[in-house]
Amino acid sequence: MAKDGTNRGGRRVRAGDKPMSVAEKLQKGQAVRLMENDIPVLTSAELEAVDLPEGAVVEGTDMPKPADYLSAKQKNGVPLGADEIYKETWLWLKERGCERLVNPRLIEAYAQAFARYIQCEEATSTYGLLGKHPTTGGVISSPFVQMSQQYQKNANLIWYEIYDIVKQNCTVPFEDNPNDTMELLLRRKIK
C-alpha cells in the first residue's frame, strides 16, 4: 500500500494462462463442473453402461418469443429484422446445448445491436459516405458511418459474452466453421 492509501502493484489483469474450455478439459480426461447444476461430468473411462427403462422422458425447450420491439416497423415502413437474428442466434445456442445458459435479454440486445448495424450500413450505401453540414453547408463525413461502427462494436462485445458462455459450457468440441449458422448470417446480412 502506498502512502496515499491506494493499492499499487500486484498481479496484472488477465496475466497468466487462459482458462480451458469444458470440451478441452473433457478431452484431456479432467473432471469439470458445469455452470447449470454444478454436477461433475464424468469422462468416458468412468462411465458405466446401464439399461434404460422404457419410455425415457426427453425434455424439450421452446424458444422464448422475441420481444415485439425487435420486429417493430421503422420510419421507412420496413421491419427492423432483429427478431430473425434473435431466432437464428437462439437456434445456434440450442445446437450446442447452451440455450438455457444465456439470458434471453442478452440475445435480444445482440440481435438489436446487429440489426441496427445492418440498418446503418444500408443507410451508408443509400446516402453515401459524405453528408452536408446542417449550418455551414460544408461537406462532412456521414453520421451513419460512426453510428455503424458503434453498433458493430456493441454487437461484437455482446457476441463475445454469448460466445464465452458457450465456449466455457459446451461439452462438445467445435471449431469456428465457415458453414456455421452465425457466419452465414453475418455474411448474408451485410451484402
Predicted confidence (pLDDT) at residue 98 exceeds the cutoff of 70: yes
Q: What pLDDT is stored for residue 8 in this prediction?
A: 75
Q: What pLDDT is stored for residue 46 in this prediction?
A: 63
> Taking Cα atoms as reference points, which of 153, 154, 162, 168 lies closest to residue 182?
162
Contact 173, 164 (CB under 8 A): no
Q: What pLDDT is stored for residue 65 in this prediction?
A: 85
Contact 117, 190 (CB under 8 A): no
Question: Percent of the chain at pLDDT above 90?
Answer: 31
Predicted confidence (pLDDT) at residue 161 exceeds the cutoff of 80: yes
How far is it, in rounded angstroms, from Cα 97 to Cα 37? 14
Contact 177, 185 (CB under 8 A): no
Q: For the chain, what are the domain ranges?
A: 71-190
134-156 per-position pLDDT tens digit? 899 899 988 899 999 999 999 99
Cut 0.75: pTM above it: no
Q: Find the length of the chain.
A: 191
Question: Percent of the chain at pLDDT above 70?
Answer: 74
Predicted confidence (pLDDT) at residue 92 exceeds the cutoff of 80: yes
Q: What pLDDT is stored for residue 22 in this prediction?
A: 80
Count of beta carbons in the 10 Å neighbourhood of residue 93 = 21
Least confident of 4-18, 88-102, 133-147: 4-18
Name the pLDDT band for 56 (thresholds 50, 70, 90).
very low
Q: What pLDDT is stored for residue 157 in this prediction?
A: 95
